[in-house]
Amino acid sequence: MPTRGLRHLPIDISKKSLGGNNLPIVKCLCGVEIMIVPNVKLMSQAIEAHILKHKKKAKDPKEAEIEAERIRDELITQILDKASQT
Ligand SMILES: [Zn+2]
């Protein structure tokens, strides 16, 4: 029996109006660049994945939490900033 085509592909970032000189990226405090994608889920996944890297460098859980918040605030601030420019 054929399965119904219920495949939701959330990735639709390929050729969507990403033109212009400003690359849609945010730069972390550590220098790593993260691409901004017009998809909340993917975007937050990318952010959380990167935050995890910072957390792993922390010496204890408390420091990890502080670091996570710092990085999250920084990245989201930049995203909002970019969003308001376009
Ligand atoms: Zn970073």
Residue 67 lies in a domain: yes
Buried/exposed 29-42: b ≥16 CB within 10 Å, e otherwise: eeeeebebbeeeeb
Residue 78 lies in a domain: yes
Residue 1 lies in a domain: no
Residue 16 lies in a domain: no
Position 13 confidence tier, pLDDT thresholds 50, 70, 90: very low
Residue 73 lies in a domain: yes
pLDDT score of 24: 86
Q: Give the distance (Å) from ligand 1 centre to CA of residue 53.
A: 7
What's the sign of the alpha-carbon dihedral 26, 34, 10, 76? negative
Query: Is 68's pLDDT higher than 70?
Result: yes
Q: Give the distance (Å) from ligand 1 centre to CA of residue 52.
A: 9
What is the DSSP code (8-state) at residue 35? Answer: E
Total domains in the fold of the chain: 1
Residue 20 lies in a domain: no
Q: Give the domain range for residue 50.
A: 36-85
Q: Give the distance (Å) from ligand 1 centre to CA of residue 72.
A: 10
If we measure between CA atoms, which residue out of 58, 1, 70 comes closest to residue 29? 70
If we measure between CA atoms, which residue out of 19, 35, 10 comes closest to residue 86? 19
- Summarize pLDDT for 19-49 with one digit per residue, the tens: 455 668 999 999 999 999 888 899 999 999 9
- What pTM, to 2 d.p., does this model score? 0.70
Q: Give the distance (Å) from ligand 1 centre to CA of residue 38.
A: 21
